[in-house]
Copies of this chain bind each other. A is one copy, B any other.
Amino acid sequence: MNTGEGSGAHDPHRDIPEATVARLPVYLRALTSLAERNIASCSSEELATAAGVNSAKLRKDLSYLGSYGTRGVGYDVDYLSYQIAREIGVTHDWPVIIVGIGNLGQALANFSGFSSRGFRTVALLDAATQMQGQEVAGLDVRPFADLARIVAAEQVSIGVISVPAPAAQDVADAMVAAGITSILNFAPAVLSVPPGVDVRKVDLSIELQILAYHESRKAAESAEAAATVDNGSGEGITA
């Protein structure tokens, strides 16, 4: 086992599955919560319930980034927190810009969880002249044309899009041209970007529609069950 590249067991920092990456922030938050309650160490079982996952899955996830636990004991909260934060890359802050300071953009700018955990909003941009110069969340709203200059000056690599859907692709193109390589898109639109640029999509109405689908099924099932109770064939009402 471990053929070639004989650098030791497990070859750290390589090939963490996407599903695991998506859960690491959840573990990090759970660990932070434990640390705030002055809990110094925890078992995989405790951490798993705090994070809402299976304990086996948690252990496997953590094993991808190394052996940071002690058998028979568990995990040191601070140590594991640091290791996960290092793996994610949030030991230092990332500068972020937000384009589109409408309802949602203002909420994002004011959202404390945004800035608290590894991210720092360095600029707000909007194309509408009536927004420019206004102060939102302690930052001046700047014209969209300043995008490239700000990105270069502040070394920004992450951008947030909260503009209406028709403008989203144009904003994404401008971001990519300015050198941004990670985009968080709140606009209900499919973005096409060159390879090497990551896009994550947050779509509120899609989430609601998924819930609606399951609601419909629940309603259909309970109606079906009621019909089955009323009369075996489930056809017609014979009261």
Contact = CB atoms under 8 A, between A and B. Distances in A.
Interface of A: 13, 21-22, 24-26, 28-30, 50-52, 87-90, 94, 96, 103-104, 106-108, 110-111, 113-114, 116-119, 157-158, 165, 181-184, 188, 190, 192, 196, 198, 200, 202-216, 218, 220
Given A108-B204, A204-B108, A29 B188 contact: yes
A211 to B, nearest CB: 4
Pairs of residues from A and B, 10 with the lowest C-beta to C-beta distance, nearest first? A89-B216, A107-B107, A52-B190, A182-B211, A25-B209, A103-B107, A25-B206, A103-B110, A104-B107, A88-B213
A215 B117 contact: no
B25 A182 contact: no
Contacts of A158: 208, 211-212, 215
A94 B213 contact: no
Given A182-B215, A205-B117, A205-B119, A25 B210 contact: yes
A113 B188 contact: yes
B209 A90 contact: yes
Given A119-B205, A208-B158, A213 B89 contact: yes
A232 B50 CA distance: 46
A4 to B, nearest CB: 16
Contacts of A52: 190, 192
Contacts of A114: 204-205, 208
A173 to B, nearest CB: 16
A202 B104 CA distance: 14
Contacts of A26: 190, 206
Given A103-B107, A215-B157, A204 B87 contact: no
